[in-house]
Amino acid sequence: MEKKFYITTPIYYPSANFHIGHCYSTIIADSLARYKKLDGFDTYFLTGSDEHGQKIEKKASEAGLEPKEYIDKIVDNAKDLWKKLGITYDRFIRTTDEDHVDAVQKIFKQLYDQGDIYKGEYRGKYCTPCESFWTESQLVDGNCPDCHREVQEVSEEAYFLRLSKYQKRLEEYIEAHPEFIQPESRKNEMVNNFLKPGLEDLCVSRTSFSWGIPVTFDEKHVVYVWLDALSNYITALGYNSDDETLFKKFWPADVHIVGKEIVRFHTIIWPIILMALDLPLPKKVFGHGWLVIDGAKIAKSVGNYKDPREYIDLYSADAVRYFSLREIPFGSDGNFSEDALIARINSDLANVWGNLVNRTIGMANKYFNGNITNPHTTEEIDTPFIEAIDNLKKDTDAKIEELQVSKVLESIFDVLRASNKYIDDTTPWTLAKDETKKDRLETVLYNLLEAIRVTNILLKPFMPESTAKVEKYLNSQNTRFEEAKFIENQTYQVTDSPKPLFERIQKEQ
Q: Residue 140 has what DSSP assignment? A: B
Interatomic CA distance for residues 81 and 75, integer angstroms: 10
Helices 382-401, 438-459: inter-axial angle, 10-degree rounding: 0
How far, CA to CA in Å, does 498 sit from each of 168, 244, 345, 354, 506?
61, 49, 19, 10, 21
Q: Residue 12 interacts with ligand ME8 (CB under 6 A)? A: yes
- Least distance CB 26 / ligand ME8 (angstroms): 8
Conformation bin of residue 433: beta by default, left when phi > 0, alpha when psi is -120 to 50? alpha
Q: What are phi and psi of 394, to 5 degrees?
A: -60, -45
With CA atoms as reference, report the closest residue to 273 among 283, 282, 261: 282
CB of 200 to ligand ME8, least distance (A): 20
Angle at 468 between CA 491 and CA 36, to 5 degrees: 100
Tell the smallest beta-carbon distance from residue 12 to ligand ME8 (Å).
Answer: 4
Of 21 and 464, nearer to ligand ME8 (C-beta) is 21
Q: What dihedral angle (degrees, nearest 10) is formed by the CA atoms of 160, 161, 164, 170? A: -160
Question: Of 302 and 468, which CB lies nearer to ligand ME8 in the complex structure?
Answer: 302
Looking at beta carbons only, is 212 or 259 nearer to ligand ME8?
Answer: 259
Residue from 5, 7, 21, 255 touching ligand ME8 (CB under 6 A): that is 21
Applying CB under 6 A, which part among 111-119, 189-197, 225-233, 370-378 lies near ligand ME8? 225-233
> Any contact of residue 422 with ligand ME8 (CB under 6 A)?
no
Interface with ligand ME8, residue 273, by CB under 6 A = no
Outline where 91-244 has alpha helix (H): 98-113, 163-176, 184-189, 225-230, 232-235
CA neighbor of 389 nearest in space, from 465, 483, 494 = 483
Distance CA 113, CA 415 (A): 59
Amino acid at 446: Y
> Does position 22 bind ligand ME8 by CB under 6 A?
yes
Q: DSSP class of residue 441? A: H
Tell me the window of 70-78, 207-215, 228-236, 313-321 that interacts with ligand ME8 (CB under 6 A). Answer: 228-236
Query: Per CB under 6 A, does 112 bind ligand ME8?
Result: no
Q: How far apart are CA 296 and CA 293, in angstroms?
A: 5
User: Smaller CB distance to ligand ME8: residue 329 or 370?
Assistant: 329
3-class DSSP assignment, residue 447? helix
Q: How far is the CB of 356 from ligand ME8 (least distance, A)?
A: 31
Residue 227 binds ligand ME8 (CB under 6 A): no
Q: Beta strand pairing status for 334-335 and 291-293? A: parallel
Nearer to ligand ME8, 229 or 345 (CB): 229
The DSSP call for residue 260 is G
Say if residues 130 and 110 touch (Cβ distance below 8 Å). no
Which of 259, 271, 354, 464 is in the footprint of ligand ME8 by CB under 6 A?
259
Alpha-carbon distance 445 to 400, whole Å? 30
Shortest distance (Å) from residue 493 CB to ligand ME8: 44
Nearer to ligand ME8, 85 or 258 (CB): 258
Report the distance separating Cα 297 and Cα 304, nearest Å.
9
Residue 33 binds ligand ME8, judged by CB under 6 A? no
Task: Verify binding: residue 297, ligand ME8, rule CB under 6 A.
Answer: yes
CA angle 12/18/22 to nearest 5° reads 65
- Mapping DSSP to helix (H, G, I), strand (E, B) and coil, where does residue 27 land? helix
Does 25 sit near ligand ME8 (CB under 6 A)?
Answer: yes
**C-beta of 336 vs 473, nearer to ligand ME8:** 336
Would you count residue 290 as binding ligand ME8 (CB under 6 A)? yes
Q: Which is nearer to ligand ME8, 23 or 449 (CB)?
A: 23
Instruction: Please state the closest distance from residue 297 (CB atom) to ligand ME8, in A.
Output: 5
User: Does the protein bind ligand ME8 through residue 298 (CB under 6 A)?
Assistant: yes
Task: In angstroms, give the least distance from the CB of 267 to ligand ME8.
Answer: 12
For helices 464-474 and 355-368, angle between their N-to-C axes, nearest 10 degrees: 10
Give, as ranges, the residues between 334 and 373 that touch ligand ME8 (CB under 6 A): none
Q: Judged by CB under 6 A, does residue 229 bind ligand ME8? A: yes
What is the amino acid identity at position 303?
G
Query: Shortest distance, CB of residue 16 to ligand ME8, whole angstroms?
Result: 9
Closest CA to 200 of 138, 285, 126, 111: 138
Q: 331 vs 464, which CB is nearer to ligand ME8?
A: 331
Collapsing DSSP to helix, strand or coil, 395 comes out as helix
Site for ligand ME8 contains 11 (CB under 6 A): yes
Stretch that binds ligand ME8, among 83-91, 176-184, 290-298, 418-426 (CB under 6 A): 290-298
3-state secondary structure of 127: strand
50 part of the interface to ligand ME8, by CB under 6 A:
yes
In this structure, the strands spanning 296-297 and 205-206 are unpaired
Interface with ligand ME8, residue 70, by CB under 6 A: no
82 lies in the site for ligand ME8, by CB under 6 A: no
Distance in Å, CB of 436 to ligand ME8, minimum = 58
311 binds ligand ME8, rule: CB under 6 A? no
Contacts of 489 (CB under 8 A, 6+ apart): 373, 374
Q: Which stretch binds ligand ME8 (CB under 6 A): 100-108, 229-237, 276-284, 371-379?
A: 229-237
> Which residue number, 21 or 282, has a Cβ lying nearer to ligand ME8?
21
Q: Please tell me whether residue 13 binds ligand ME8 under the rule CB under 6 A.
A: yes
Interface with ligand ME8 includes 6 (CB under 6 A)? no
> Would you tell me which residues interact with ligand ME8 (CB under 6 A)?
10-13, 21-22, 24-25, 50, 229-230, 232, 258-259, 261-262, 290-291, 297-299
